[in-house]
Amino acid sequence: GSNGKTTTARLTAALLRGEGVAVSHNSAGANLVQGVTSLAIGFADLRGRLPEGALVVEVDEAALRVVAPELDLRALLVTDLFRDQLDRYGEIYAVAGAIEKAAAGLPPDASLVVNGDDPMVAGLGLDREGRRVTFGFDLPGSTDRISRAADTIRCPRCRADLAYRHVYLSHMGEWRCPSCGLVRPPLDVAVTSVEVVDLRETRCTLQTPDGPLDLRIPQAGIHIAYDAAGAVAIAVGLGLPIPHAAASLATVGPAFGRLETIAADGRRIVLGFAKNPTSFNTTLRALATEGEPRQLLVAASNTLVDGEDFAWLWDVDFEGAAGRVERVTVSGLRADELANRLKYAGVDPARMAIVTDRRAALDRALLDVKQGGTLVILAGYTPTIELREEMRKRGWVGRFWEA
């Protein structure tokens, strides 16, 4: 899927280990063909045989069509589908088509696990023989609204406009098609309550086939409840009892850059990796639980790795955070365009500093942060790696694959 792969895979690996399953997992997020190959080789013995246990594999959407046929998949989970690196993947209908082909090739006894709240994801594998497990939210009211960042508000069957009873996150919610009658599927794992306590904890209750499951996960954001529900849904698809689920998931902190909290010489840095409108917006919503961001560093690049199309920046809801920002440092290859977007969002240009160099940008941003204060960093993939490496050199963090 587009968002949530790394966190969902980490939660799934912890869940399986908690039930005594031997797990190998590409936890650093190496999700292309080479990374998955290295994972399998590392788990195998000298004769190339895989031991009993499970490979928990995070796979890039574009790599799935190559990777899936090479693995004896017992479950395939699709998190969601959003605009993401359009110049690399193509539009989301092309991505959905590629995933549909991979799902059609699953062994009959494997489970397809889908986010029922995402209309396009919920439309995958409808005609497939084999088990489909669904997860999503079942809350009494909406937690979001359909905005310009929403990507899939048309029926996966007939392409008519959908109607929503509740909207939970971007285009994900309780939907139905007034034209052909297709509705959100019944949920096998449903989030019935969610509370983002602060940047250190999200609480949620999941209704599962075995009853309610109360979770406290040391990560921030309503999207974390989706990730947890997905991990539990995999266990349901595998037919694996999970009596230790709450304890296991309570140990899973954020992956590198996923609202990672870093101690920096008496100050706190919150590093948020954001790569598309929805990931930016969910990160900003999580930060708002603590009145952040106030001191902000935003860094974005449009390299081949990050995606060259940058037009999506105008769909990020910077307007909702602009009133809280006291000072912002802008960095990256498109710093001028990023600063222009922030200006139109309502951030006073007099409160901005444009510093292209990453190290200098970090120093400049920290100048405005008092001892005990917080600097929020929102960055794309390449800037996140570079800024975190600079913080590693200063002794503030370990290497990113150790997070």
Mean pLDDT of 17-46: 84
CA 306 to the chain's CA centroid: 16
Q: Which residue has the tokens 């639980």?
A: 289
Domains of the chain: residue spans and CATH: 5-249 (3.40.1190.10), 258-402 (3.90.190.20)
| Radius of gyration in angstroms for the set of CA atoms belonging to the chain, rounded to a whole number | 21
In contact, 114 and 134? CB cutoff 8 Å? yes
Which residue matches tokens 């222009």? 340
Residue of 107, 106, 108, 126 lying closest to 116 (CA atoms): 126
pLDDT tens, position by position, 379-397: 998 999 999 999 999 999 9
Question: CB under 8 Å to 80, separation ≥6 — which residues?
Answer: 1, 2, 3, 4, 115, 118, 121, 172, 226
pTM: 0.93
Cβ burial of 154 (10 Å; 0-12, 13-18, 19+) is middle
Closest CA to 191 of 139, 250, 121, 134: 139
Q: Give the single-character DSSP code of 107.
A: -
d(CA 46, CA 33): 21
Contact between 300 and 313 under an 8 Å Cβ cutoff? The reply is yes
Rounded distance between C-alpha atoms, residue 120 and residue 171, angstroms: 10
Give pLDDT tens digits for 127-145: 888 999 999 999 999 998 8
Q: How far apart are the C-alpha atoms of 77 and 394, rounded to whole Å?
A: 38
Distance CA 221, CA 337 (A): 28
pLDDT per position as a tens digit, 255-307 = 989 999 999 999 999 999 998 889 999 999 999 999 999 999 999 887 766 66
Q: Is the pLDDT of residue 87 over 50?
A: no
